[in-house]
Amino acid sequence: MMVPLATLQSELGREGHGSMILVRVVDPSRQEEVARRIIALSPDWRVLFSRDLPSLFAEGYGSLTLFLNLVTALASVVSLLIISLTMYTTVTERTRQIGILKSLGASRGYIVGIFLQETGLLCALGISTGLLLSAVIRLILVHGIGLTLTWEMDYIAYAILGGGASGLLGGLYPAWRAARLDPVEALQYE
């Protein structure tokens, strides 16, 4: 909806006042020039570029940033616990196979390596699925609703590193436990 400035000021009872004016520049390479011309007309005005709005919002909502960081940390801890429980169950189910490997001369490092490889595969699948799902949701929001969303490569890197680290840390104890099993007892496990 487009309304003349004077009409809007009259409706709001704020004649002669305004809080914001949005200026669309047809040629993006001339944004700086247009900003200088606006400041030359009225030096007390503040010019903000739309490209700077996300960082300004992030600075203005510190509690939101803290909340998002806490949710991220909680998700990492839950991921670590789920991977740990999954791998612990896997070690329990494969106790007999671990006993066979150990009786054939497999070293502790080899056994730990096997379980960490499986954990790494689970992490890679989980991270890939999460990134794919977020890409699909982004496409729906951009093309379906018309939102403007950009990929923040820093956050993608944090997600990949955080997911991988929490997963591998979660798989470390079960792998270590598998490597310490006594071969004789493991072969007798039912």
Residues ≥6 apart with Cβ < 8 Å to 11: 3
For residues 22-32, average pLDDT: 83
| Predicted confidence (pLDDT) per residue in 120-134, tens digit | 998 899 899 999 999
Note down the domain range covering 179: 56-188
Shared-domain flag, residues 81 and 136: yes
Q: Which two tokens stand for residue 18?
A: 């305004």
Shared-domain flag, residues 27 and 65: no
Shared-domain flag, residues 100 and 163: yes
Among 113, 83, 81, smallest CA distance to 98 is for: 113
Among 174, 101, 160, 151, smallest CA distance to 126 is for: 160
55 vs 48: CA distance, rounded Å:
11
Residue 136 pLDDT class (50, 70, 90 cuts): very high
Q: What is the pLDDT of residue 1?
A: 57
Shared-domain flag, residues 42 and 81: no
Q: What is the pLDDT of residue 129?
A: 94
Secondary element (H or E) of residue 84:
helix 62-93
Shared-domain flag, residues 159 and 90: yes
Shared-domain flag, residues 60 and 27: no
Q: How many Cα atoms within 13 Å fall on the side-chain side of residue 9?
A: 11
Shared-domain flag, residues 26 and 70: no
Shared-domain flag, residues 34 and 63: no
Q: Average pLDDT over the chain, rounded to whole?
A: 85
116 or 60, which is more confident?
A: 116
Q: Examine the pLDDT at 169 and tell me if it is beyond 60.
A: yes
Shared-domain flag, residues 144 and 85: yes
12 or 115, which is more confident?
A: 115
Q: What percent helix, strand, coil does the chain show, rounded to 5? A: 75, 0, 25
Shared-domain flag, residues 82 and 152: yes
Q: How many Cα atoms within 13 Å fall on the side-chain side of residue 134?
A: 13
> Cα separations (Å) of 101 from 107, 164, 181?
9, 27, 11
**In the chain, how many domains are there?**
2
Shared-domain flag, residues 111 and 155: yes
DSSP designation for 13 = T
Shared-domain flag, residues 29 and 112: no
98 or 146, which is more confident?
A: 98
39 vs 44: CA distance, rounded Å:
7
What's the one-letter identity of residue 178?
A
